[in-house]
Structure 1
């Protein structure tokens, strides 16, 4: 019975303690610099570096001790003081084990009693037992809130300085030393003669703070240190110790607590006591609002999102390059690689709803599928390199890149090796600028060419095109987080689930743009409101979520237009890529696309032609180059230049310019043909 009462008492005390812990408010942030206390324990590898034949006054036949090692440990306690938000000064009181064993194998010639000689080996060993206690001041710099590097000194007093030595016959297995009748000699032990009384060393280190309490006061700190002794083990010998320590520290970092407001004195009777003051709301708030952005970048209030369906055709050009990482011949993971079962299911139809770059990442499978369909097709794979730094003149790397592509087509798509030729060179025949960092990356590639055009014909998709008005939704956020924002998430959804999720670490951007014109797959499909909300979690793990806001959606489907006999139109969209460097003339591949597009133009069609470039090169030059490329296309189509525009590297860029394929696809001319349906 008494035991049960004791358990109940302890349980109540723990509840009260936890309530007090989690009700506390702090005057500082979890990552602010504070005074710290702690203990540490490390395991060390002691590397002894020497150059002596023996200890002073101790018989030894060793030709020269040079190296040795041993395992030690380092334990102690510490205190640290912040000098600023990034720098802190710490003092460590330590006990350090620096022991190690030096050995030397001496080849020699030995003989037996009959005078017969053979090669032998003597082992000279010197065991040193060394330890010290002392103080280590360290200056630390925080590279991040968790990771810090340190430098300082270790100053200690040598407690143990003992040794034991002996010389042993290793080879041959028979025989003894002359005059000893033993296989060992010069066995000695004692205190190291003329041993240094002090341990003075330089220290470098690194540590990482891992919080283990919700209030960020207790941490486990993995740490590693390298030290080099400035003083020799013995004053008359060349004998120093390098120590590599690694271990863990337990750190207590108390935070400043905001004292609770004093309770108001109880009112005089008979009036009833006043109600307690309600707890303060967390200092975390935010707002989110949606705005409309038209094709010219003008912002306005948005009251409804209109979505209209059109019949249309899109033509996606296929880039015939495979890009590689620096000094690597491994096909990067962003390229889609299939197994045998997936290969059998692969079809162009699986690519219809994918964005342009996602279609490109299937290029190896497109080539494999088309070579299976056209048995007369042969290809040449030319491996290239950037011809600089690690890749300078590395023809072997170029060959390995070409063979990586070939092996995939042979092993997965079962293309006979006789239909694939391998070539290699340093820079490509038409290289990107080799002095520009982006150009260097683009030259690390394998180029695939074919004897028939069908292998790299553009992917033609005839399906339903959906357009939104406005084409861009701009979400504007305003977040105030006293403790700092840890992470955020903006979710846009309809009743069937999320359509688009934006998320990130730290403070949410003030402007989040949703470019629906570039994301056909994410345009809302249901005639119901679009729902959006913003969630924020601060660094004290407090969560805030906005009210779910609605944006009405109006769908105008092809079926609805037919039933109501409304006017409709058909969209055809084409892209021309792979213009030669700094050229605006259309090459053979682009001419085929242009001629195909020309046949789609009717008398009542409206044609717009837009030229683009990537981020490389001078902005004004790129603007003129994109215009000339668009005008060259207009000439082939027979379209007036008034329907032509050059946009250069106007932001936002069409595709991700941090990858080489994104830059190639940005060097394009886009043709849009809109034809009313009679």
Structure 2
């Protein structure tokens, strides 16, 4: 049989389960104020104290102390619930409090037993509380009990069994209880005849439950049972309800286009050079995507060769930049050859262990020594489990495979200004390249759909040219979408374009908004521009402070009065789309603030900024996301400076 502690533990557990199960339902009837019914259950009684004198004619040789037993309980009840929170109830019924004491050994070395059959007529008024107004309720109150039975059965080995009535039994007992119950409505919501099944549990402590006027027999009880309750409810008059459609004004729509879509622009670009070389899983060899030269090719290599205009097949920005980056070891070799006093450290990192990380670094050292003839004493190597600035952070659980790909690498470290930018960010000095841009973000047509993510499940954009050709884009869900202007123009006619936004609300309704926008194009290759990019470590926006000196001293002086500066932030695909969009906006806005402060200090006026964050949008991101170096280059803010003609 369970101990008192276990009974209490299970009782508390049941209460917690009931608490978590609690729900409130919308009723179509009122809740009855008066309830009538019956309850039945079992009392788990636990005895303590001393019992030896059973009546005036029998004092047993050995005293009994502890015991327990299960006895029935039954009552009729009435409940009054004037509010959903407060109420009261009254139970009147039969209350069994008997049980069996633990066996003892009489002085004759004879086992002895004592069983009691004590019962009462019980009157139990209680206060009922529904703290959350739901099905779960708690109750507490006094118990007034009047003795009904007081029988006992005593046995002792080698003695005749003795049955009788206990003497000095209290005729009335006043004690208390506390408990919890859960009303389960078994009737239909529309029925006025309510029937509730209510399991309950209560605890009756030993206070006031001394059974007899003599000795110290006390009793604690845990009662478990179920009550059946009936009540009469009233129907709630039905109210006519109409769904109010979302006003069209809540979804705004506007379109912004550049003054002229530049079909092609020659760009002088300052490309930051990542000081990382990434290694493929399962291999310690330098990946084949990096450009590896023979000693004879290295003898004539100059990083200036990478500055030349690429072939037509490589006019996409990501291809152009990655081609430069994949020459990072050749650029490093060329710079070390031109600066013989410069030393470097190659720090390799691998989750497989520092030993494998050092193997990565050693492979790069061999290449520089054997191909570019760099003195091996100028190159130190070491191995680590994680790189100096890891992407995987402690406690991170999402997209670990992508983060770990970016941490399987060699960091190129040096204190020389001939190799590294004075930014404190570890980025190598940039490479200056000339390229032709055919699809810049400053040529985007931007569509603003206010509250789209709140009101609409999706929307489409139809753009109709002046000669009646319609192109459709979407579906979209964000408040702001960018479409390249030259994609819309194609070979079409410049002029006034009709734009129709057709959205489906989350309630299934259709919303249409119309606007017009003028889209014109410049002649090909008539504009020149200057571009700078700054890079970030994973999930960092505040590293913009690292670039403050660079932006103030290098970029701002190149911005003339009446120029236009287009700033757009990007992220990789790691993390949620919403978070990445906000992160890219924050990076772009902080870049603009630093440039504005520098321009104001220099007295330059009438500079127009067009700043936006594009997040992880892959159709507008500078690079793909298939390789770690692509994701690293996507963690960027790109600054395009267009000098006024």
What TM bracket, shorter-length normalisation?
Answer: 0.3 to 0.5
| TM-score scaled by length of structure 1 | 0.43
